[in-house]
Structure formats: C-alpha cells, structure tokens
Amino acid sequence: MYSFSASKKAFLFLFGTGLFVALLCGNTHSADDGIQRLLLAYPDHLCGAEGNTILWCDGETMPYDDGKGPKTHRQKLEDADLQEQMEQIYPRGTDFPVPPTTDFEPGRIRNERFFKKMYGDSAERVRKNLAPVNWLPASGGKRLYMTTVNRVNEHLQAVSNELDQLPAPLKRFVDNPAGSFNWRVIARERRLSPHSFGIAVDINAASGDYWLWNSGTEREPRTYRNRVPIEIVWIFEKHGFIWGGKWYHFDTLHFEYRPELLLDAGKINPFDK
Ligand SMILES: [Zn+2]
C-alpha cells in the first residue's frame, strides 16, 4: 500500500531512488511502473494504490488492469483500462520511429473514465475550471482556454512564454493555433476528444498533418508527413505535453497534457519551475 497522506515524501524519495536504480540497469520503465508514474504525475488526485487498485484522494477506487484480457488495438482505443493507457512508452525527444510503426501511438489510448473524473464529465463541469492562457503575447497575442485542474493552464503558459522567444521562422508554426477547449467526440469515433477536458491544444492548421486527411483510412493512415520542427515539440514536452506527431495515426498539430507519459526518472515533479 502506498500512502501519500502520511509518508508522501518518503515514498516519493524511495520511488525516485528505485527508478534511478532501474535507469542505471537500463530499464527505465518496468512492466508495472505505470501505477507509480500515475501517482507521481497526479499527486493532487491520486493518493495511493493497493495491488491492482488505484485510490483517488476522494475515496473512489479504479482498477489498474480491468482483467478483460488481451485486446486488439481498436478495442484498447474504445475501452482502455489504465494499464493499457500506460503500456506504450512515449519516446521523449528526437529518438522516435519515423514513420511511426503500426499502432504505436503512446497517449492515444485513454481510459475515458479517468479523464472524466479528473477534469469533468460534462462540458459545463469542464468549463467551470477553464482559465485563459495568454498565447504569444509578444507576437500579437491570443487567448486559449485550458483547465486549471493540474495547473494545465500554467503549464501551457510556460510553453507559450518559451515559444514567444523563438525566431520568426519557427514561431510561424504556432502563432495561429487552431483550438484548445472543445467538448466533442473524435472524428469517426464515439469517444471524447482530449480537447473536451481542456488539456489539449492544436497549433497552426496550415502547417499540420493528420492521418485522416485526404485518403487516409484507419488500417492505412495517410502516408506519414510532418512539417513541425522538433524544437517546438521539445518545448511542449518539457512542460508535460505529448505530441500527436509521434503516433501511427498521426496528428502533428496536436499537443496534450499527459505528464504520466513524460516523467523523468528520479524527479518528483519535473514540470514545476
Ligand atoms: Zn488536437
């Protein structure tokens, strides 16, 4: 049993040390460190775990593995448990497969119940927690609405402040963002887009590429294409946002706050300034 209430710091220290040792052994993410990464990423909401059970701080529990056995990729997209949400390891930085290998898309598999509980289960409930991000104020400025839950708005503001320092040839990829909060289902799907929770932002559509555009199908997405410079991706990743440009079903406009997939080994909260 992990308890954050009485011995949070001791646990985090021990966990950090363990992860560091694991890193030295060349095994950053063991098969089952998904629970620990979730606890580290969302300490305001998740207060512990007992075996296969995640304990929310308000007393609610969720299974980590739903015990439904092996699922196809499509079944995972439609009905993921938390274990499946965590199992593909997001490749931070420049070392990622291009084009992405079939169905490799860490972060695209989401347990919807988890996100609804964290950020709100209706447009109205999510909207109550939204706050404006002052996007690229040195370059004209726009307002993007993101959730204050987990301080996602502050993390995106930090991204914006760094992007605003970039030279113009790079800034032109991000100076006209296509959207942020939007309660909607994903195109051709029944499940909610992460934009519904106020945790995602799309940068300029004119320089983005999406697997479904033109002749793409789910089995054969449109041929991988990316025009977004990696310098922009680095800045988002540094502040807890993963990039849809690393997915088999790619979406190079899309960035999404998913700290559980970006935690640095041994760091308690790498996204705090
Ligand atoms: Zn998006």
How much distance in Å is there from the Cα of 252 to the middle of ligand 1? 9
How much distance in Å is there from the Cα of 7 to the middle of ligand 1? 38
Across all residues in the chain, what is the average pLDDT? 86
How much distance in Å is there from the Cα of 13 to the middle of ligand 1? 35
pLDDT at 147: 98
More confident residue, 10 or 55: 55
H or E stretch at 50: strand 46-50
Q: Where are the domains of the chain?
A: 2-93, 117-261
How much distance in Å is there from the Cα of 29 to the middle of ligand 1? 27
DSSP state of 205: G
How much distance in Å is there from the Cα of 113 to the middle of ligand 1? 19
How much distance in Å is there from the Cα of 180 to the middle of ligand 1? 7
How much distance in Å is there from the Cα of 95 to the middle of ligand 1? 22
Which one of 13-22, 32-41, 57-66 scores highest in mean pLDDT? Answer: 57-66
How much distance in Å is there from the Cα of 208 to the middle of ligand 1? 10
Neighbours of ion ligand 1 (CB under 5 A): 200, 202, 254
According to the CATH classification, is domain 117-261 in 3.30.1380? yes
pLDDT at 178: 93
pLDDT at 14: 44
Taking only the tens place, the pLDDT of each residue in 114-147 is 999 999 999 999 999 999 999 999 888 899 999 9
Show the DSSP H helices in 148-198 as ranges.
152-163, 168-171
Taking only the tens place, the pLDDT of each residue in 164-218 is 999 999 999 999 999 999 999 887 778 999 999 999 999 999 888 888 876 667 7
Average pLDDT over residues 232-238: 96
Alpha-carbon distance of 267 to 211, in angstroms, equals 34
How much distance in Å is there from the Cα of 205 to the middle of ligand 1? 10
Structure tokens at 45: 């909401």
How many other C-beta atoms are found inside a 10 Å radius of the C-beta of residue 197? Answer: 27
pLDDT at 16: 45
Alpha-carbon distance of 98 to 108, in angstroms, equals 17
Share of the chain above pLDDT 90, in %: 71
Residue 99 phi/psi, 5-degree rounding, is: -70, 160
Task: Specify the range with the lowest mean pLDDT, choosing from 5-19, 104-118, 205-219, 228-242.
Answer: 5-19
User: Is the pLDDT score of 237 beyond 70?
Assistant: yes
User: Is the pLDDT score of 21 beyond 80?
Assistant: no
User: Is the pLDDT score of 240 beyond 50?
Assistant: yes
pLDDT at 78: 93
How much distance in Å is there from the Cα of 200 to the middle of ligand 1? 6
Taking only the tens place, the pLDDT of each residue in 39-84 is 999 999 999 999 999 999 999 999 999 999 899 999 999 999 999 9
How much distance in Å is there from the Cα of 85 to the middle of ligand 1? 18
How much distance in Å is there from the Cα of 253 to the middle of ligand 1? 6
Confidence of residue 264 (pLDDT cuts 50, 70, 90): low
pLDDT at 222: 79
Tell me the three state secondary structure of residue 96: coil
DSSP state of 210: B
Tally helices (H) and strands (E) across the chain. 9, 10
How much distance in Å is there from the Cα of 160 to the middle of ligand 1? 17
How much distance in Å is there from the Cα of 4 to the middle of ligand 1? 33
How much distance in Å is there from the Cα of 243 to the middle of ligand 1? 9
Share of the chain above pLDDT 70, in %: 84
